[in-house]
């Protein structure tokens, strides 16, 4: 069977101590080991196909060079994209990443946190689902370095957060809508009680009132579980009611909503205008180029890793980083 080669094997082979081998293989032998012996050790290591055992190293140093990432929902493109950036950035800093999706489920989230902790991750980046405040408090109490992305829990003070201004992003969407001559927009969103989603809705409502003089802005909330079943009727109703543009609050809703339009042969922007939150590669096979709110995914990934690592290295400050968004204008919301 398989027998992994250890420091001891190399030491034994050469009749030296494991310490010497460790020094050489970690390039810490300046003034300790003769160059000749060092060379020998390196050669033997190569010959024997030595691979250092990180598990042992981690145990000894109480540091795994691993960060945990827990996202809320892997089936959302936004998160899978961000996961990529976080992985890339981690690698740049010589960290590994281990990863899990909580599927918007608080219990699953808590389990994942436990798994990550027992695997001794040095820190965690997380997009927490609803109802996980106590776990966040726990992490904070335990001084476990963590950074919250995308989501924000105003009830917990002094935690490290990185995200966008969702209210403002939505507000600007309505500015764009108004500028391009739409007068009766509706927002289609999920009925979920998360701060960042409420902010998106609030931005839309406020701006609709202020910029379009709409007394009761139209917001359709759909339960995530029944999304693909319900959205068809809801969309058709909006159109029948004379809504002239639909603003989808996430990627996932957008895909479902656009599918309805395709199915019913509804032309964009002629019959209805469209704006989506978040981008998707798939938009390019829709019959019209899509206007969308672009979040700085790469920057979120990058900064969250950097912030986390600085926390791991003992930096104490609680930071809330708010990044900017852009509206990428396509033909789907062209002047009306």
Partner DNA sequence: TTGAAAGCGCTAACAC
Partner DNA sequence: GTGTTAGCGCTTTCAA
Residues near 164 by Cβ (< 8 Å), separated by ≥ 6?
295, 296, 322, 323, 324, 325
Compute φ and ψ for 314, nearest 5 degrees.
100, 0
Q: Select the binding partner of residue 320 from a copy of itself, DNA, none (C-beta < 5 to 8 A, by kind).
A: none
Out of 282, 315, 318, 322, the residue judged to bind a copy of itself by CB under 8 A: 282
Out of 36, 143, 215, 335, the residue judged to bind a copy of itself by CB under 8 A: 143
Instruction: Verify binding: residue 16, DNA, rule CB under 7 A.
Output: yes
CB 208 within 8 A of CB 167: no
201 vs 288, beta carbon nearer a copy of itself: 288
State the DSSP H helix or E strand holding residue 173, giving kind and residue range, or none if neither.
Answer: helix 166-179
- Rounded distance between C-alpha atoms, residue 109 and residue 113, angstroms: 6
CB 55 within 8 A of CB 110: no
Instruction: Verify binding: residue 236, DNA, rule CB under 7 A.
Output: no
Mapping DSSP to helix (H, G, I), strand (E, B) and coil, where does residue 274 land?
strand
Instruction: Verify binding: residue 117, a copy of itself, rule CB under 8 A.
Output: yes
Calculate Rg over the CA atoms of the chain. 26
31 vs 314, beta carbon nearer a copy of itself: 314
- Rounded distance between C-alpha atoms, residue 192 and residue 194, angstroms: 6
- Rounded distance between C-alpha atoms, residue 258 and residue 246, angstroms: 10
- Rounded distance between C-alpha atoms, residue 112 and residue 181, angstroms: 47
Residues near 138 by Cβ (< 8 Å), separated by ≥ 6?
none
Out of 30, 225, 284, 317, the residue judged to bind a copy of itself by CB under 8 A: 284
The least CB distance from residue 120 to a copy of itself, in Å, is 5
Instruction: Verify binding: residue 310, DNA, rule CB under 7 A.
Output: no
The least CB distance from residue 260 to DNA, in Å, is 53
31 vs 335, beta carbon nearer DNA: 31
Distance of CA 297 to the CA centre of its chain: 8
Given CA atoms 191, 193, 197, 203 in this order, what sign does their dihedral have? positive
Stretch that binds DNA, among 22-30, 236-244, 282-290, 308-316 (CB under 7 A): 22-30
Strands (E), 199-287: 218-222, 245-248, 273-277
Instruction: Verify binding: residue 144, DNA, rule CB under 7 A.
Output: no
Q: Select the binding partner of residue 15 from a copy of itself, DNA, none (C-beta < 5 to 8 A, by kind).
A: DNA
Instruction: Verify binding: residue 27, DNA, rule CB under 7 A.
Output: no
Instruction: Count residues binding a copy of itself (CB under 8 A).
Output: 41
Instruction: Verify binding: residue 46, a copy of itself, rule CB under 8 A.
Output: no
The pattern of x and - marking residues 32 through 61 that bind DNA according to CB under 7 A reads xxx--x--------------xx--xx-xxx
Mapping DSSP to helix (H, G, I), strand (E, B) and coil, where does residue 123 land?
strand
- Rounded distance between C-alpha atoms, residue 309 and residue 322, angstroms: 18
The pattern of x and - marking residues 180 through 209 that bind a copy of itself according to CB under 8 A reads ------------------------------
Cα dist from 114 to 57, 68, 108, 139, whole Å? 22, 11, 10, 11
Stretch that binds DNA, among 23-31, 164-172, 269-277, 323-331 (CB under 7 A): 23-31
Out of 74, 211, 266, 329, the residue judged to bind a copy of itself by CB under 8 A: 74
- Tell me which residues touch a copy of itself (CB under 8 A): 1-2, 49, 51-56, 58-59, 64, 74, 80, 84, 87, 96, 98-100, 114-115, 117-120, 142-144, 255, 258-259, 262, 280-287
Question: Contact residues for DNA (CB under 7 A)?
Answer: 4, 6-8, 15-20, 22-23, 25-26, 28, 31-34, 37, 52-53, 56-57, 59-62
């Amino acid at each position: 069977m398989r027998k992994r080669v250890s420091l001891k094997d190399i030491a034994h082979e050469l009749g030296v101590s494991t310490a010497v081998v460790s020094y050489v293989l970690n390039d810490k032998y300046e003034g300790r080991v003769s160059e000749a012996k060092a060379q020998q050790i390196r050669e033997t290591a190569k010959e024997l196909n030595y691979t250092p055992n990180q598990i042992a190293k981690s145990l000894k140093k109480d540091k795994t060079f691993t960060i945990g990432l827990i996202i809320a929902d892997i089936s959302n493109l936004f998160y899978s994209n961000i996961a990529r950036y976080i992985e890339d950035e981690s690698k740049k800093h010589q960290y590994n990443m281990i990863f899990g999706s909580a599927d918007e489920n608080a219990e699953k989230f808590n389990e994942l946190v436990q798994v990550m902790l027992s695997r001794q991750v040095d820190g965690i980046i997380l997009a927490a689902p609803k109802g996980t405040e106590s776990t966040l408090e726990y992490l904070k109490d335990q001084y476990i370095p963590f950074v919250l992305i995308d989501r924000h829990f105003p009830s917990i003070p002094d935690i490290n957060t990185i995200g966008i201004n969702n209210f403002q992003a939505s507000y600007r969407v309505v500015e764009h809508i108004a500028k391009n001559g739409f007068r009766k927009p509706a927002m289609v969103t999920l009925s979920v009680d998360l701060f960042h989603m409420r902010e998106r809705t609030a931005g839309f409502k406020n701006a609709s009132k202020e910029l379009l003089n709409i007394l009761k802005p139209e917001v359709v909330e759909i339960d995530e579980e029944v999304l693909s079943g319900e959205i068809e009727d809801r969309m058709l109703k909006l159109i029948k009611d004379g809504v002239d543009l639909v603003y989808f609050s996430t990627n996932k809703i957008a895909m479902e909503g656009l599918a309805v339009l395709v199915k019913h042969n509804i032309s964009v922007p002629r019959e209805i205008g469209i704006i989506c939150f978040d981008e998707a590669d798939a938009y390019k096979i829709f019959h019209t180029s899509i206007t969308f709110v672009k979040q700085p995914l790469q920057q979120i990934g990058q900064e969250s890793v950097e912030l986390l690592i600085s926390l791991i290295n003992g930096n104490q400050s609680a930071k809330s980083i708010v990044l900017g968004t852009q509206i990428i204008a396509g033909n789907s919301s062209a002047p009306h």
